[in-house]
Amino acid sequence: MAGATSFKDSGIANVNDTYRGQILTEGDEVKTAILKDLSPKQLANEVLAAGLASLIGLPVPPAFIGITAPNSDCASQCRLPDGTGLMFASADVGSPSVAQLIKAVPTELQMLAHLEAIVAVLIKQAWLGDLYGFDAWAANIDRHPGNILFGAGTAWIIDHGHCYTGPTWVPADLVPAGNFRHRLKEWVTPFLQVDQRKRLAAEAGALVTRLQRIDVRDVGIQNRVNGLLDDVDFQALVVFLLERIPHVPRAAGGALDEPRLA
């Protein structure tokens, strides 16, 4: 809908042009959303990851493919022949990111202490082990503190444009047994006790059974991802996700410093 305004996470620069505005859903419901102008591949990454994450119970804000008015200045990367544009829309949950919270304190020592306190709350979330497993499965290389929203004991996960090895992946990048960067290892794992790491590694490993029940191709089709990617890329992505499942325990365990065999 008209009236979207440029949005930054409390002054933190966004990689993609981002807006806060309103969307009108197919059910004629008006929602406030965070809107991102993305390439077709990044849009596909976001949409598929949101659909898959929600299926396994991860806290993802409701996600939409937004259609703009013809020749809107907001959508420039994914333009349709009739002049309308496609954008990724994520319901605005009104919570700050972890990055925003830790940047609010004045010294590096205080930032570290504040981050440790936030991680202490995250470890109590029943889904944290699943998140380690999901990011390992989806080869999400960008789960930095700006991509978890946090407030009033509730957390949300956002920004999945860098799943499947990155925003500009090609089929050759999608190596099921590959070792990919797992950002939670860098800023969550260091604050975990040994027993917590072992528990989360076991939970991430147990995710395999649930992942095997997901019809990845159907999720992609239902969420129109096959319309954003060409046939070769869509097929490669489906195969990657199916063949990646057995490697989740090893990849998630490595991110928790609890290595496990594939």
Beta bridge partners of 86: 67
Average pLDDT over residues 35-41: 96
Largest CA distance in the chain: 56
| Full-model pTM | 0.94
Alpha-carbon gap, residue 94 to 191, rounded angstroms = 27
pLDDT reported for residue 6: 86
pLDDT digits (tens, 9 = 90+) for 205-225: 999 999 999 999 999 999 999
pLDDT reported for residue 103: 87
| pLDDT band (50, 70, 90) for residue 120 | very high
| pLDDT band (50, 70, 90) for residue 262 | very low
Average pLDDT over residues 234-261: 94
Alpha-carbon gap, residue 166 to 162, rounded angstroms = 4
Domains defined for the chain, CATH in brackets: 5-91 (no CATH), 98-255 (1.10.1070)
pLDDT reported for residue 11: 47
pLDDT reported for residue 1: 81
Among 105-109, 204-208, 251-255, where is mean pLDDT lowest? 105-109
Task: Report the number of secondary-structure helices (H) and strands (E) in the chain.
Answer: 9, 7
92 and 34 in contact (C-beta within 8 Å)? yes
Q: How far is CA 16 from the centre of its chain?
A: 15
pLDDT > 60? residue 10? no
Average pLDDT over residues 35-50: 97
